[in-house]
Structure 1
Amino acid sequence: MKLINKSILTAVITLSTASVYYAQQTQDTVQAKSKDIDEVILRGVTDIAKDRKTPVAASTIKAAQLAERLGNQELPEILNTTPSVYATKSGGGFGDGGLTIRGFETRNIAVMVNGMPVNDMEGGAVYFSNWTGLADVTSTLQVQRGLGSSKLAIASVGGTVNFLTRSADMKKGGVIRLGVGNDDYLKTSFSYNTGKSKDGVSASFLMSRQAGGTYIENTNYESYAYFFALGYEINKKHNLQFTVTSAPQWHDQRTFAPTIQNYIRYNPNNDGTPYRKYNSDFGYYTDASGNRVALANRSNYYAKPVMMLNWDWTMSEKSKLSTVLYMSNGRGGGTGELGKVGGNGITNFTDASGHFNYDAIFAANAAVNLNTAGAGSTLVRRSNINSHNWYGILANFQHKINDNWNFSVGTDDRYYYGYHYQVLTDLYGGAGYKDNANKNIATPRIVNALYDYKKLNWNPFGGKMAPAEDQIGYSNDGEVLWYSGFAQVEYTKDKLSAFLQGSVSNQGYQRIDNYVVDGSITPKGQTVNTKTGFKNIFGYNIKGGANYNINEQHNVFANLGFYSKQPFLNSVYPSNQQFINPYLTNEKISSAEIGYGFRSAKFTANVNVYRTQWKDRWLRKTSQTFQLADGSTTTGYSEINGITEVHQGVEFDGVYKPNRFIEVQGMFSWGDYYYKGNASVASFDDNNNPVTLANASGNTLYLDKVKVGGSSNNSIPQMTASLGLTIKPVKDLNIFGTWRYVGKLYSTIDAGTFTNVSAQEKGVLKLPDFNLFDVGFSYKIRLQNEAQYFTIGANVYNLFDKIYISDSATSIFGTDQIKDTKDPDNGKTWEQAGRMYNGIATGNRAYFGFGTTWAATLSFNF
């Protein structure tokens, strides 16, 4: 489930009055004085790159652009005109989109708020469905590609995404905003800042609600956000700020990528084209009044309240200490089916429209006698709970040695405890669910307590966990202890600026399985206990770089770094078991980059060349369908050891302003991402049983020279481009349009496919290139009071309703044989059977991008 990193994401929604203020000044000031400690290359813990000083590739987006162009898109989509960035809506549910930078997915991108990392401490994932308020309180969004400038020991393999939010001492005023859009999208928000009083007290708060549906069938959602910051400037040396924020939400999903042939088969128009809105993760039942009612099988819900206290201490003109204490208690989970009825899973109850026939499921469940039936003999909807408590401290001390040298040292320490178990959310017409998963209980038990996933949790202290008697399926906890220290030295003189930084960290992992009996023996003869004990893993990174300003127009920079990265918790304890991975090792990432910048009154441009190598990567690939050696199929997951990836490429971005009425923005990125050497793989069904795959040649995964695709249902492009035009014909009117191109788009690797050499020779499936066009406008209506004005705006996305595949989960080629004894074309190739769409075999599972969508906003500033 998508929950964690949600961690502090709003948490940090105002790291500190001073640090945020300084970071904003960094963006607004083109030139800086090296003698000012607040004008160092990398300031505080925010580590925002400064133009023509910090030697990293960076792109910056301001709050005005977010408000003007985001509309009802996913938050990461605002980055799609940034080189080497690919953000999609993935399955299409609210907040379910994916993000890659330089071919690396979110779990290997450091997402930060005011310099504080928020990636999930167990698996590194970041989900944006719980951060609806973030777009409203962000003043600056910066993307640093590559290892970046952050001093912390974080997973910035592909890059860093840093949200800088407003602080409590903003200028007095407020904003009321209303947004509408396709599929009943409605968003309302109200924010107000008191300004700083004579006593140094200030406050800022925001409340918002967003609801409706997305372009996809049955993806309704409801999301709220609240944010409150209270600041107190005790004196010129001491500044305190308290922040509390959360964004409770629920949303129905599409998590399974349908086959292209099902998009076509279930098109209501029956015209041979794909029905892009098709969602196979819901169905219909008939209520007491005879109405056909939609019911989702897959949904997500979460609340991630965060409280934090920041203290900034200006010790002297040369020294400064920033400290943040924070607490984050996340509660929520994701729903799906559990069990079978009459030996049939939920996909056996599909109606003629390609949706679940809940009337048939309800009837089958009602006929089951739970007193005599075996465990798992009813088909129900469960929720996988993924809650956590997270506590941390982040401190950074900065000192100016002289006019040219600065240094900083600090610590980033965290404690995390994650709770993972299942509860029931719908019995689907049955009397209960019979569960025998808890090995500490001798006989199966019938459970029928239900938990409503649409009941939002507003408790800022976290709320209650389900009692043990209501838990089913599994119940395990993850405990993480994180200690780290970092140091940095900077040099600035005349045209040269340089930095060297390093960090060390210890991550301690413990897995606690509440359903395991202490001293039990696994099928492999291993003795396991409820608690594994902590496994401590040491890691470090070191990186540095230099920038040289040749003159006022030209600059060059270079950076390089090495990162010994600790694996995630599921790598330490693979296969959901209580023993340590025998192949456990740190992942090694090395990166190098050179860049050139040009600045003039009308034209600015950047060119970067980079290469990153990632060795000893461990990957769990979920949601797979396996063809087994006995001819049957099953679903499950694979665990892959010893992956080596190479990511290299060239990037360009530029802005041309011929006059004050016209601005042209452009970018181009070309990459070459591929696997180097082969890897080892082990595959399991959904019950953690090892499986033997058809046509597999042992446990080798043949990946050498195969292009890098995503690790789940997402795809990765290796060529992107965009061209944007903004016209300002009169004061306060902006008219804009963007063309975007995506090419060299490769599907995810399918572990069940690449277990033989022939698949390696074919490589991963390349999807069709596509072009998209977006347009929009915004206009300010000013009142007599200059501080008061209305803003109206509108955006149309995918203007020409382009049909395109944004993500794919499989690599089936037209020359591959159809292997399904129930299929009349069994034994033929997809091409021979004429089952191709736009050059792609229709047996591939994929997500189509949204068709034409729109959003409009009206806001009043006062």
Structure 2
Amino acid sequence: MKILFNNLSKTNRQRLTLSFFLLGLCSAYGQEKQQDSTKVEKLDEVLVKAVRVDAKSPITHSNVTKEDLAKRNLGQDIPMLLNFLPSVVTTTDAGAGVGYTGIRVRGVSSQSTNVTINGIPYNDAESLGTFWVNLGDFASSTESLQLQRGVGTSTNGSGAFGASINVLTDAVSKEAAGEISNSFGSYNTRKHTVKFSTGLMNDHFEIAGRLSNIVSDGYIDRASADLKSYFLQGSYVDDNTLFKAITFGGKEVTYQAWNGLEDLEKLEDDRTYNTAGEYTDDEGNTQFYDNEVDNYSQNHYQLHWNQRYNNQWSTTIGLNYTKGQGYFEQYKEEEGFDDYGLEPLNFNGEIIDETDLIRRRWLDNNFYVINANVNYKADGLDLIFGGSYSHYDGDHFGEIIWAEFASQTEIRDRHYDGNSKKNDLSFFSKANYKLNDKISLFGDLQIRNVKYKTTGTTSDIVEFAVDESFTFFNPKAGITYELNNNNDLYFSYARANREPNRTDFESNESIEPEQLNDFELGWRHKNGNFVFNANAYYMLYNEQLVLSGQMDDVGNPIRTNSGKSYRLGLELEAIIPVSSKLTLQPNLTLSSNKNKETIIPFDGELQNLGKTDISFSPNLVAANAIVFQPIENLQLTWLSKFVGEQFMSNTEADRSKLDSYFINDFNINYTLKTKSVFDSVVFTGLVNNIFNVKYITNGFYYTYDDDFSNPGTITTVEGAGFYPQATTNFLVGMTLNF
């Protein structure tokens, strides 16, 4: 089969792929049960009700359960576990899904994907990004997860600009339980997890927790990861009250792999080569610094109080404190003294103003959040109103821990030192109203104020003073029409506004906030176990902050305002029960993602390229799962993913093109019921990239002006780097439940 596939032309491969996914294109990635408005909700679920939607809402979404995550939870980060959801593209620096990973939805970067954990914002307040590496094995403590595509509903923290991911951690368990899970695989990847729950003691109290350690050498050379994490919660629950005190976090040490690979010959012949830590010794030999690592710890403390007063009224209060601290370390050759504020040395009459050195760039931050919501339900009306306030205080500073020529430096000297403060205050009111047996209305109003102020200097020893305040009004409205018991139609409109992040301000003092008007039109069909969803979207942007393709010197993506732009797409997804033992779960996204006008300087002149593709936005993304369950306790799943070609720039430059790729994985789960010490033993296996495809999911593109080789003329030089992904690799695991 592999030989046959490889002998096809690229065009025919893509046609075959598209035909394969069109086999059953029809609906939801997981079955959703209609919510009964009279049902008394679980108090655990109320934690995330303010930021989630139900099955009948006119918001495009996918629900993922604990059971869904467990089938492939063998050490890879959460983005990799969501890879087969509609419109999702994932990437990983180390190539194998452990360490730094990223997720894009509808082509929108992780900086524009809002993530909440129990309703508390998780995105980094300054970069707006999400660093799953700080939450190793968090899937093992996730009760459920909802991915909303588009603007979605009002959420806490920075607004969703393409998607939102709402995570609910472990629910209160009535019964005592324990779990020991171990997995092993390629690149010396290992995951070790221990979980426990006391069950409800005296019918009211529960203590539960988890300890995990994930290690991997990575597919890319030296791209190792050592992720230690924990989760601990104490709960009190009765019929109408839930208190939860939760702490979770972790420490990660990962060898840097964010440089990518710019050498095209090495990309072809030595695609695992990693330039991070590379230097030349006194004999001219290439060496690699052994501690070119990112070393960071992050600890979260949450307190939640859910109170139900009667079947109509309930309240939720959430408090959060997050402490983050760490650095990344680099060996740098022939660094200029001026770049570090050092004074030149006079050594026997020779002026020394360059040195090899080892530096650390530090982050030390504190993040505080308070959320409060009130919910009223009666006579077809479900109303939630509330607010959220957060305060971020972060220090950025750098230290030289060794230098060949140390100049006047002292231990603990900081060659740059800056501070950032950010306050985020929002209020919202959200309502679902069942007008009659056929029509349900949805409305959502949010006002949000953001204040961001910086002092001190950047890593370039340049004064960095930002003092900005933004006030955004984000209205949303929608309607759902129930044709019959099997069919719903919905339409929604949502506006979102979003502030620039720290890197945006550093790279462009005149950067503007971005605005999105999102239109969604969908059809949901469910007949027994057969499910079909179709959704058309039109996302109209003003000053969208698109990825330019460039990176700064610490691996942060640089964004730029793109004026007018849009994303127009069609999403199809289905569950097709072929028989009682065989199910197909395909999904497909077809889209057009365009900047309406792109003007760039090139070879010393401004050039108007007209309408161009938005960077990192493939026009075709498809996935499929063939699930075969021959017996009750055995499940075999063939997983396929196709991502069309995309550009890393907004200029459609050939050098910036990423080729399309088609990847297939195989997942096996077998549960052995026992009557001994353990309730069950679960065996899990995963083979990734079965056909050994050499593919690339991410990279960077840059240009610079070269006016030295031809004095008097300006020539634009292009460059690109790529992040190769792992070829065939595997993971196997065993979980003991008791």
Query: Same fold judged by TM-score > 0.5?
Result: yes
Is residue 181–residue 192 contact of structure 2 (8 Å, CA) maintained in 1?
yes
Q: Deviations over 1:293-323 (max 9, x none)?
A: 8534742121110111111122333111100
- How far residue 678 of structure 1 moved from its aligned partner, in angstroms, is 3.6
d(CA) in 1 for partners of 2:536, 2:32: 27
Which ranges of structure 2 fall in alignment gaps of 5 or more residues?
1-29, 340-344, 711-715
d(CA) in 2 for partners of 1:344, 1:389: 32
**Residue number in structure 2 paired with 1:856:** 732
Q: Write the letter of the residue equivalent to 1:706.
A: T
**Residue number in structure 2 paired with 1:494:** 437
Is residue 336–residue 353 contact of structure 2 (8 Å, CA) maintained in 1?
no
User: 1:415–1:70: structure 2 CA closer, same or farther, 3 Å change rule?
Assistant: same
Q: Write the letter of the residue equivalent to 1:723.
A: N
SS in 1 for 2:369: strand
**Is 1:405 aligned to residue 296 of structure 2?**
no
Q: Which of 723, 727, 749 matches 2:628? A: 727
**Is 1:415 aligned to residue 391 of structure 2?**
yes
- How far residue 248 of structure 1 moved from its aligned partner, in angstroms, is 0.7
**Is 1:229 aligned to residue 233 of structure 2?**
yes
SS in 1 for 2:532: strand
**Is 1:537 aligned to residue 474 of structure 2?**
no
- How far residue 639 of structure 1 moved from its aligned partner, in angstroms, is 6.9
Q: Write the letter of the residue equivalent to 2:222.
A: N
Q: Which of 436, 446, 460 matches 2:409? A: 446
**Residue number in structure 2 paired with 1:563:** 496
d(CA) in 2 for partners of 1:343, 1:411: 49
- How far residue 547 of structure 1 moved from its aligned partner, in angstroms, is 1.6
User: 1:818–1:477: structure 2 CA closer, same or farther, 3 Å change rule?
Assistant: closer
SS in 2 for 1:136: helix
**Residue number in structure 2 paired with 1:685:** none
Q: Deviations over 1:814-854 (max 9, x none)?
A: xxx999979xxxxxx99xxxxxxxxxx9x642222211111
SS in 2 for 1:504: strand
d(CA) in 1 for partners of 2:557, 2:591: 29
Aligned residue runs from structure 1 range 13-52, under 5 A: 30-36=33-39, 38=41, 45-46=48-49, 47-51=51-55
Aligned residue runs from structure 1 range 431-510, under 5 A: 432=406, 434=407, 445-447=408-410, 449=411, 469-472=412-415, 474-492=416-434, 493-510=436-453
**Residue number in structure 1 paired with 2:12:** none
d(CA) in 2 for partners of 1:785, 1:119: 44
More relative contact order, 1 or 2 (CA 8 Å, 6+ apart): 2
- How far residue 620 of structure 1 moved from its aligned partner, in angstroms, is 7.9
**Residue number in structure 2 paired with 1:56:** 59
Which ranges of structure 1 fall in alignment gaps of 5 or more residues?
1-26, 265-272, 346-367, 435-444, 450-468, 523-527, 627-634, 682-692, 710-714, 755-759, 823-828, 831-840
**Is 1:705 aligned to residue 611 of structure 2?**
yes
Aligned residue runs from structure 1 range 111-190, under 5 A: 111-152=115-156, 154-169=158-173, 171-190=175-194
Is residue 218–residue 282 contact of structure 1 (8 Å, CA) maintained in 2?
no
d(CA) in 1 for partners of 2:417, 2:353: 16
After superposition, the CA RMSD in angstroms is 3.8
**Is 1:745 aligned to residue 651 of structure 2?**
no
User: 1:315–1:703: structure 2 CA closer, same or farther, 3 Å change rule?
Assistant: farther
**Is 1:696 aligned to residue 604 of structure 2?**
yes
**Is 1:793 aligned to residue 676 of structure 2?**
no
Q: Write the letter of the residue equivalent to 2:453.
A: Q
Q: Write the letter of the residue equivalent to 2:690.
A: L
- How far residue 174 of structure 1 moved from its aligned partner, in angstroms, is 0.9
Q: Which of 544, 553, 556 matches 1:617? A: 544
User: 1:608–1:216: structure 2 CA closer, same or farther, 3 Å change rule?
Assistant: same
User: 1:279–1:373: structure 2 CA closer, same or farther, 3 Å change rule?
Assistant: farther
User: 1:75–1:371: structure 2 CA closer, same or farther, 3 Å change rule?
Assistant: farther
d(CA) in 1 for partners of 2:259, 2:71: 33
Q: If the length of structure 1 is used for normalisation, what is the TM-score?
A: 0.74
**Residue number in structure 2 paired with 1:101:** 105
- How far residue 376 of structure 1 moved from its aligned partner, in angstroms, is 6.2
User: 1:95–1:696: structure 2 CA closer, same or farther, 3 Å change rule?
Assistant: farther
**Residue number in structure 2 paired with 1:14:** none
User: 1:188–1:536: structure 2 CA closer, same or farther, 3 Å change rule?
Assistant: same
Is residue 602–residue 658 contact of structure 1 (8 Å, CA) maintained in 2?
no
Is residue 545–residue 562 contact of structure 2 (8 Å, CA) maintained in 1?
yes
- How far residue 377 of structure 1 moved from its aligned partner, in angstroms, is 1.9
Is residue 35–residue 404 contact of structure 1 (8 Å, CA) maintained in 2?
no
Q: Deviations over 1:669-715 (max 9, x none)?
A: 11111112246x8xxxxxxxxxxx871326xx746311111xxxxx4
**Residue number in structure 1 paired with 2:323:** 329
Aligned residue runs from structure 1 range 219-618, under 5 A: 219-233=223-237, 235-264=238-267, 273-283=268-278, 294-296=288-290, 298-338=292-332, 340=334, 377-400=354-377, 402-425=378-401, 427=403, 430=404, 432=406, 434=407, 445-447=408-410, 449=411, 469-472=412-415, 474-492=416-434, 493-513=436-456, 534-571=467-504, 573-575=505-507, 581=509, 583=510, 585-618=512-545
Is residue 152–residue 412 contact of structure 1 (8 Å, CA) maintained in 2?
yes
- How far residue 274 of structure 1 moved from its aligned partner, in angstroms, is 3.1
Is residue 137–residue 166 contact of structure 1 (8 Å, CA) maintained in 2?
yes
d(CA) in 2 for partners of 1:860, 1:846: 40
- How far residue 206 of structure 1 moved from its aligned partner, in angstroms, is 0.4
- How far residue 131 of structure 1 moved from its aligned partner, in angstroms, is 0.9
User: 1:585–1:61: structure 2 CA closer, same or farther, 3 Å change rule?
Assistant: same
Q: Deviations over 1:6-57 (max 9, x none)?
A: xxxxxxxxxxxxxxxxxxxxx99723322346399x9654433322x11111
- How far residue 238 of structure 1 moved from its aligned partner, in angstroms, is 3.1
Is residue 575–residue 583 contact of structure 2 (8 Å, CA) maintained in 1?
yes
Q: If the length of structure 2 is used for normalisation, what is the TM-score?
A: 0.85
d(CA) in 1 for partners of 2:173, 2:386: 26
SS in 2 for 1:254: coil
Q: Write the letter of the residue equivalent to 1:535.
A: E
d(CA) in 2 for partners of 1:111, 1:588: 19
**Residue number in structure 1 paired with 2:660:** 769
User: 1:542–1:298: structure 2 CA closer, same or farther, 3 Å change rule?
Assistant: farther
**Residue number in structure 2 paired with 1:439:** none
SS in 2 for 1:129: helix
Worse-matched range after superposition: 207-216 or 111-120? 111-120
User: 1:642–1:810: structure 2 CA closer, same or farther, 3 Å change rule?
Assistant: closer
Worse-matched range after superposition: 278-287 or 585-594? 278-287
Is residue 218–residue 224 contact of structure 2 (8 Å, CA) maintained in 1?
yes
- How far residue 372 of structure 1 moved from its aligned partner, in angstroms, is 8.1
Is residue 411–residue 484 contact of structure 1 (8 Å, CA) maintained in 2?
yes
- How far residue 562 of structure 1 moved from its aligned partner, in angstroms, is 1.3
**Is 1:87 aligned to residue 90 of structure 2?**
yes
User: 1:29–1:147: structure 2 CA closer, same or farther, 3 Å change rule?
Assistant: closer
Q: Deviations over 1:414-472 (max 9, x none)?
A: 11101111123554xx253x4xxxxxxxxxx324x4xxxxxxxxxxxxxxxxxxx4312
- How far residue 389 of structure 1 moved from its aligned partner, in angstroms, is 0.4
User: 1:344–1:67: structure 2 CA closer, same or farther, 3 Å change rule?
Assistant: farther
Q: Percent identity?
A: 20
**Is 1:645 aligned to residue 569 of structure 2?**
no
d(CA) in 2 for partners of 1:323, 1:637: 35
User: 1:601–1:616: structure 2 CA closer, same or farther, 3 Å change rule?
Assistant: same
User: 1:638–1:405: structure 2 CA closer, same or farther, 3 Å change rule?
Assistant: closer
User: 1:802–1:373: structure 2 CA closer, same or farther, 3 Å change rule?
Assistant: farther
d(CA) in 2 for partners of 1:780, 1:186: 21
Q: Write the letter of the residue equivalent to 2:582.
A: I
SS in 1 for 2:57: coil
- How far residue 811 of structure 1 moved from its aligned partner, in angstroms, is 7.9
**Is 1:845 aligned to residue 725 of structure 2?**
no
SS in 1 for 2:187: coil
d(CA) in 2 for partners of 1:765, 1:185: 32
SS in 2 for 1:845: strand
d(CA) in 1 for partners of 2:254, 2:619: 31
- How far residue 199 of structure 1 moved from its aligned partner, in angstroms, is 5.4
**Residue number in structure 2 paired with 1:784:** 675
